[in-house]
Amino acid sequence: MGSYREKMTTFSRLKWQCRRGTRELELLLNHYLEVHYRQAAVEEQCAFRYLLQQEDPELYLLLLGEREPVGSAQKKVLEVLLSASHYSA
């Protein structure tokens, strides 16, 4: 377990990675990071960080169900992202 400073640096880096070309996608990713990330299981945190490495078109395909998620942790993160879409805007 890292120090508070290391955790904040990691969180800040993730926050920066949530920046996207569309406001809608940025809102979804930031909502997950702010509300769900810290309480998520380690596997889900890894899945979220993996999703942040993807290009926007790939994320849209996953969110629209055009591509299958890789593993149950990624599926869970996508479900949370989609449920947050009802509350964002």
Q: Note the pLDDT tens digit of each residue in 5-58.
A: 666 688 899 999 999 999 999 999 999 999 999 999 999 999 999 999 999 999
Q: Does domain 4-84 have CATH number 1.10.150.250?
A: yes
Q: Tell me which amino acid residue 16 is.
A: W
Q: What is the pLDDT of residue 10?
A: 87
Write the CB contacts of 75 (distance below 8 Å, at least 6 apart in sequence). Answer: 69
The residue ranges of every structural domain in the chain are 4-84
Whole-prediction pTM: 0.84
Task: Report, as an integer, the average pLDDT of 68-84.
Answer: 93
Q: What angle do CA 37, 57, 22 make, to 5 degrees?
A: 70
Question: What number of residues does the chain have?
Answer: 89
What's the rounded mean pLDDT across residues 62-89?
Answer: 86
